[in-house]
Amino acid sequence: MKDFVSIRDFSPPEIQYLLLLGRHMKAQPETYKSALAGKTLAMIFEKPSLRTRVTFDVGIQQLGGFSLYLSPAEINLGRRESVYDVAKNLERMVQGLMIRTFAHEIVEQMAQWAAIPVINGLSDYSHPCQAMADYMTMWEIKGRLDRLKIAFIGDGNNVAHSLMFAGAQVGANVWVATPPGYEPHEDAIVWSWARACETGAGCHVSNDAKEAVTGADVVYTDVWASMGREAEAEKRRPAFKNYQVNADLFARAKRDAVFMHCLPAHRGEEVTDEVIDSPRSVVFQQAENRLWIQKAIMVHLMKDVPVGLMHPATAPELVHA
């Protein structure tokens, strides 16, 4: 586990271990207050963020380390400076790197070329830290993950992909209901099906929101137009109008079902106030758990990364007079 790029990259026991570590950190935070003493996490933001910025920034400090925020103006990946050059510079200055960007290939390239751990804070293809926080929250509330029915209603986007990946790893039964033409990427479906066959999980993609929500333990939604696709919002609205999580749709879930949303929410579009503000909504517990699971990921990846030392693979040969 050198990097945390996609939930697909790990075995089911590794994913379960990180979830367990996150819960242990939340229960006993003092145990880890010096776990990353002297370590620095560089944070590259090509997309703005509230939860990702705060949870990584606060998280590394609570572990005894430091953070360094790098804005689009300072990096401008691929234009001001190549991904390769940024990776090779940062690996000699910091002990970990979190990147929140558009193209998933940028995260993969950063992980390929940087000798330090790279964490995917979000890409257009996946949002692995969010899904890990989501499943940690489900585990806290439901006491288990295997055989839970999780209904994701809306766009087959990066959040849907990572929910599918993580569900397949932990034995959950994930249903994704989208308007026709907005389904998850085919390769995400194929991978999730294959892993689900190994773990006893389920992965279902449908255009029927009512079918997906019926009997669900968890009902989840996200904005209809993801960040970077805001220009499509008007075009998408008619297609998604029957995929709003409102009281009528939510009533089809189990009586003890909970509502989840990765936030930010567009109230009155993908979800109504009566659902997101109800006692069965756990969106803020879900948001808080981004802090704990990301602390677990950082500790697991960065704990043994040397401070102030070049990685042997990239250090130049010493020249003696």
Name the 3-class secondary structure at 180: coil
CA 238 to chain centre: 28
Q: Check 100, 104, 161, 261 and give the catalytic one.
A: 100
Q: Check 51, 290, 294, 300 and give the catalytic one.
A: 290
Amino acid found at 272? T
Amino acid found at 63? L
Neighbours of 315 (CB within 10 A): 11
Q: Check 51, 104, 127, 195 and give the catalytic one.
A: 127
Q: Check 95, 109, 130, 169 and give the catalytic one.
A: 130
CA dist 88 and 208 (Å) reads: 47
Assigned token pair, 310: 């070049």
Greatest Cα pair distance, the chain, in angstroms, is 79
CA dist 125 and 83 (Å) reads: 18
Report yes or no: 64 and 33 within 8 Å, Cβ to Cβ.
yes
Asked if 300 is an active-site residue, the reply is no
Asked if 261 is an active-site residue, the reply is no
CA dist 160 and 226 (Å) reads: 12
Neighbours of 206 (CB within 10 A): 15
Assigned token pair, 311: 């990685």
Asked if 290 is an active-site residue, the reply is yes
Q: Is the dihedral of CA 91, 93, 96, 101 positive or negative?
A: negative
Rg (CA), the chain: 20
CA dist 300 and 63 (Å) reads: 12
Q: Check 57, 244, 262, 294 and give the catalytic one.
A: 262
Q: Check 3, 134, 217, 222 and give the catalytic one.
A: 222
Asked if 222 is an active-site residue, the reply is yes
- Active-site amino acid positions: 100, 127, 130, 222, 262, 290
